[in-house]
Amino acid sequence: MRDGFVKVAAGTPKIRVADCDYNAGQIIALMREAAAQGVKVLALPELCVTGYTCGDLFLQPTLLDGAERALGRILEETRELDMLTALGMPVRNEDHKLYNCAAVLLRGELLGLVPKSHIPNYGEFYEGRWFASGRTCNEAVRLCGGWVDLSPRRLFSCSALRELTVGIEICEDLWAAASPAAALAQAGATLMLNLSASDEVAGKADYRRSLVTGQSARCLCAYVYANAGEGESSTDLVFAGHNMIAENGALLAETRLGTGLTVSEIDVQRLSHERRRMNTFAAGADEAVTIYFNLELGDPPLTRPISPTPFIPADRADRAERCEEIFTIAALGLKKRLEHTNASCAVVGLSGGLDSTLAILITAKAFDMLGRNRKGILAVTMPCFGTTRRTRSNAEILAQELGADFLEVNIGAAVERHFSDIGQPMDRQDVTFENAQARERTQVLMDLANQRGGLVIGTGDLSELALGWCTYNGDHMSMYAVNASIPKTLVRHLVAWEAERRGGAIGGVLRDILDTPVSPELLPPKDGEIAQRTEDLVGPYELHDFYLYYAVRWGFPPRKVLRLAAYAFGGQYSRETLLKWLKSFYRRFFSQQFKRSCLPDGPKVGSVALSPRGDWRMPSDVVANLWLDELEGLE
């Protein structure tokens, strides 16, 4: 359970209706299988000790006694298992009421009983015929030779991992408007278990899935849903063992039509961070009694899905919708700014690279929204010492295909004059040599905007801002920065989508831009080719975007970011390479905050942004030693 990861499972044993001893054997076998896989928390279905479909037999003491003996056997034969398990069974109290309960056990000890609060009595469900609602229960019952607590307001918290606190609801509780999960999450539960017996009808699986993922998102929790399956009576219904594991709105694992285990790892540190971050999460809003337990901390290998490109939509099916949404958000922001300032034109420095390409595509969409002629977009290319024929040509073709006005301003002579003024030798290709070109380009853009009553559209992206890979008061500055919250990997994805969608000549030039190495083109070409490749200097953008997502969005410590990167990239990079660029990321991220402290306005389009007025507030002179020291310890 290092780094907050806990292996959890939903299990569906193959049972026989009312054959409690047989069912106990199946449950024990499934528990042992789960423990062998490193599972630390296991949820089994509703009433799985007896079967959900026993009907009026639930009122028979023979069945209830058999269930109690079966629980005793399960407790006895799983004493060696270091795994918290919740399983479903009927439980009677001293007042002759019968409850549909989750029995919670660990290493042969019965920790508590959680009764079902919402008892369905409609359609194919008629639980009200046998079971009482446990909503107001708070008592002790005799079971398996001892007294055990029976209450829905119980939490089970791990002493060795304080972020792991378990709450339980049963089947219909998930469907109810006032679900127990909400109160339990507010009281501290980070993991909800649902013991269910939900039958299959057409379309119900999709609805059930939306409930599980939605509940985990609303409650900022992980959610393990264990459903009844094979062995339940098929007299009128079919149960298919639809099991799910979700975390904060994301489905981590799912099994349809079967028995056995559905296993994944939840990240309780991630959930804890999100609850700290969101002050609208009403922690402690409802009281619950906490029962403490202990588990031996393990370090299971990760199996949950972790994308190496977290900013890019994982589902190809909704790619077009997501890309269109991002373009629309960014264009709407620019549209508003153009309207508010009465700007007559938009000035874009078009280099033939990815970032300026995305910026002009967004600008074109904003002009379309305004019903303006795209000739109001002034695309300016400003060749200098490092410009190649390829990028200059692509810039001109793209402007023509979009219907924008195009202007070339060669800044070489102006930069040389500036070097003469400040005594900078032309053969000294240092930071002054590079930054002077960037600042001259910004001056040209600003003055052209002043001439025409327009706005300079910023082209820098989120990844460059995170690394400080921009010239202060050069390309760092604009009048509205449309790419400011779009990371480099997503820039590439959006331009690729535009190339596929548009096709033709514009699709061709966009594909060539995608194939062009990322470069500021500030150093002279070699044999006509780009000599300065950004990723050779600062590292692969796919790594930096991954680091940015987990270090900033989730606040993970460096050791956890490194672990996730090693898992997500699956051997694509060595540990030494990952660590090298992770150190570079942290050094640059902290040292370059002063550039982010004075950013121009720009629209937020995703969950990560670095605007000093919005998502990220950090002193420019903050000390990074804690993070860098931790990285040094990972050598």
- The pLDDT value given to residue 458: 97
- pLDDT bucket at 268, cuts 50 / 70 / 90: very high
Judge residue 215's burial from the number of C-beta atoms within 10 Å of its C-beta, 0-12 exposed, 13-18 middle, 19 or more buried: buried
Does 354 reside within a domain?
A: yes
Mean predicted confidence (pLDDT) in 48-65: 96
- The pLDDT value given to residue 1: 64
**Residue 285: is its pLDDT beyond 60?**
no
Distance CA 343, CA 159 (A): 61
Say if CB 77 and CB 28 are below 8 A apart: yes
Query: Minimal CA–CA distance to 44: which of 1, 19, 94, 9?
Result: 9
Which amino acid belongs to residue 356?
S
Mean predicted confidence (pLDDT) in 3-22: 96
Could you report the per-residue pLDDT of 300-352, keeping only the tens digit for each?
Answer: 889 999 999 999 987 777 888 999 999 999 999 999 999 999 999 999 999 99
Mean predicted confidence (pLDDT) in 450-471: 97
Distance CA 185, CA 286 (A): 9
Do 350 and 471 fall within a single domain?
yes
CATH of the domain at 435: 3.40.50.620
Does 299 reside within a domain?
A: no
Q: Alpha carbon of 160 to those of 157, 295, 330, 466: distances in Å?
A: 9, 7, 46, 36
- Exactly one of 116, 488, 583, 595 is catalytic; name it: 116
**Residue 164: is its pLDDT beyond 90?**
yes
Judge residue 276's burial from the number of C-beta atoms within 10 Å of its C-beta, 0-12 exposed, 13-18 middle, 19 or more buried: exposed
Instruction: Please say if 171 is a catalytic residue.
Output: yes
Do 384 and 455 fall within a single domain?
yes
Instruction: Please say if 46 is a catalytic residue.
Output: yes
Q: Alpha carbon of 172 to those of 121, 195, 212, 480, 632: distances in Å?
A: 10, 10, 12, 51, 51
Q: List the domain range (segments joined by +) for residue 97.
A: 2-293
Do 286 and 322 fall within a single domain?
no
Q: What is the mean pLDDT of the chain?
A: 94
- pLDDT bucket at 279, cuts 50 / 70 / 90: confident
DSSP line for 101-132 = EEEEEETTEEEEEEE-S----STT--GGGT--
- The pLDDT value given to residue 314: 76
Do 379 and 522 fall within a single domain?
yes
- pLDDT bucket at 533, cuts 50 / 70 / 90: confident
- Exactly one of 48, 137, 171, 219 is catalytic; name it: 171
Mean predicted confidence (pLDDT) in 136-161: 94
**Residue 522: is its pLDDT beyond 90?**
no
Do 279 and 401 fall within a single domain?
no
Question: Structural domain tally of the chain?
Answer: 2
Query: Minimal CA–CA distance to 349: which of 211, 206, 254, 460?
Result: 460
**Residue 219: is its pLDDT beyond 70?**
yes
Does 326 reside within a domain?
A: yes
- pLDDT bucket at 526, cuts 50 / 70 / 90: confident
**By percentage, how much of the chain surpasses pLDDT 90?**
86
Do 364 and 438 fall within a single domain?
yes
Does 309 reside within a domain?
A: no
Do 22 and 160 fall within a single domain?
yes
Do 252 and 389 fall within a single domain?
no
Which of 260, 293, 326 is the last residue before a domain boundary?
Answer: 293
Which amino acid belongs to residue 499?
A
Do 339 and 239 fall within a single domain?
no
Strand order in the sheet with 222-227: 250-255, 243-247, 222-227, 191-196, 165-170, 154-158, 289-293
Which of 293, 326, 353 is the last residue before a domain boundary?
Answer: 293
Burial call 131-163: b when 16+ CB within 10 Å, e when fewer: bbbbbebebebebbeeebbbbbbbbbbbeebeb
Tokens of 438: 């960037």
- Exactly one of 7, 20, 46, 521 is catalytic; name it: 46
Give this prediction's pTM: 0.92
Tokens of 416: 């040389």
Give the Cα-Cα-Cα angle 245, 152, 215 (nearest 5 degrees): 30
- The pLDDT value given to residue 635: 72
Mean predicted confidence (pLDDT) in 112-130: 92
- The pLDDT value given to residue 284: 64
- The pLDDT value given to residue 211: 96
Instruction: Please say if 116 is a catalytic residue.
Output: yes
CATH of the domain at 117: 3.60.110.10
Do 75 and 117 fall within a single domain?
yes
Does 70 reside within a domain?
A: yes
Do 283 and 351 fall within a single domain?
no
Query: Minimal CA–CA distance to 229: which of 255, 253, 193?
Result: 255
Judge residue 574's burial from the number of C-beta atoms within 10 Å of its C-beta, 0-12 exposed, 13-18 middle, 19 or more buried: exposed
Do 220 and 325 fall within a single domain?
no
Which of 259, 293, 327 is the last residue before a domain boundary?
Answer: 293
- The pLDDT value given to residue 519: 83
- The pLDDT value given to residue 282: 72
